[in-house]
Amino acid sequence: MSYDLKMRVWRGDSGGGDLGDYTVSVETGEVVLDAIHRLQATQAGDLAVRWNCKAGKCGSCSAEINGRPRLMCMTRLSDFDESETITVTPMRAFPVIRDLVTDVSFNYEKARELPGVELGPRDADNKRRMMQVDVERGQEFRKCIECFLCQDTCHVIRDHEDNKQAFAGPRFFLRYAELDMHPLDTHDRRALAQEAAGIGMCNITKCCTEVCPEGIKITDNAIIPMKERVVDRKFDPLVWLGDKIGLRNKDNDGRVEP
């Protein structure tokens, strides 16, 4: 069954822009990205939009739908009333390039600042052993599809452009936590998480968790444990004393700072 959908889509570039009004013929069972594609194929051939898999797996088609950060491919039209106008705007936390496409290079810069995994040698039989229960915590975080919706919604950067320098954002706290919980990693990145990535600026309002299309419990499972680990290092008096008198720091599992 098809019907005419009223849409408002932001058109413009870094110099400015406006919402354009469109009417698009859509089918029951379609998603917002289908409507955008039909608009592109029939009315606005140069409408700029990122997308790849159209299955919620690549995280390319992030935008704000009626003001809410979402993947266009996973937002079903049936979630809206047929008479409702759907407004699609680009992610607000990043500079616009054109139409719905934003410059997300901030995220790639932050990725480069984060030292990667560093495992010890393999076992004697050239294999590695880790228990399922121990890899599962990291696996939850590695479900991240890098749609950057958590970054977009995080008010530390969304509303304060000047914080970007000192704040890596939820996506990268997830990465810090993942590496910190890797059973075989040898690095201690707590100082980096605190100082370079600015995890202390997060005041756990959980907005990132709410918009995560993968349902990763970013705040509860990654950020809060990571904050606790950072605090242990910095403020635990026993750890402080151990450091001072040269005792082995048991708190870091034998990890060393990169």
CB nearer to other proteins: pick between 55 and 245: 55
CB of 184 to other proteins, least distance (A): 9
| List of residues contacting other proteins (CB under 8 A) | 13-14, 27-31, 34, 40-42, 45-60, 74, 76, 95, 97-99, 101, 103-105, 108-109, 111-112, 115-117, 119, 122, 126-132, 135, 138-139, 142-146, 179, 182, 185, 215
CA distance 90 to 82: 23
CB of 203 to other proteins, least distance (A): 28
Radius of gyration of the CA atoms of the chain, in A: 22
CB of 231 to other proteins, least distance (A): 26
Going by C-alpha positions, the residue among 181, 201, 179, 202 that lies closest to residue 258 is 179
CB of 117 to other proteins, least distance (A): 4
Sequence-separated (6 or more) residues with CB below 8 Å from residue 3: 25, 26, 82
CB nearer to other proteins: pick between 52 and 205: 52
CB nearer to other proteins: pick between 56 and 242: 56
CB nearer to other proteins: pick between 103 and 236: 103
Helix residue ranges per DSSP H, the chain: 32-42, 105-112, 132-142, 149-153, 155-158, 170-180, 190-195, 207-211, 224-235, 237-244
Measured CA to CA in angstroms, residue 251 lies from 23, 44, 139, 158 at distances of 60, 58, 23, 35
Q: Quick check: 85 and 8 in contact, CB under 8 A?
A: yes
How does strand 86-89 pair with strand 2-13? parallel
CB of 57 to other proteins, least distance (A): 6
CB of 215 to other proteins, least distance (A): 8
CB nearer to other proteins: pick between 53 and 247: 53
Partners of 3 in the β-ladder: 26
CB nearer to other proteins: pick between 81 and 245: 81
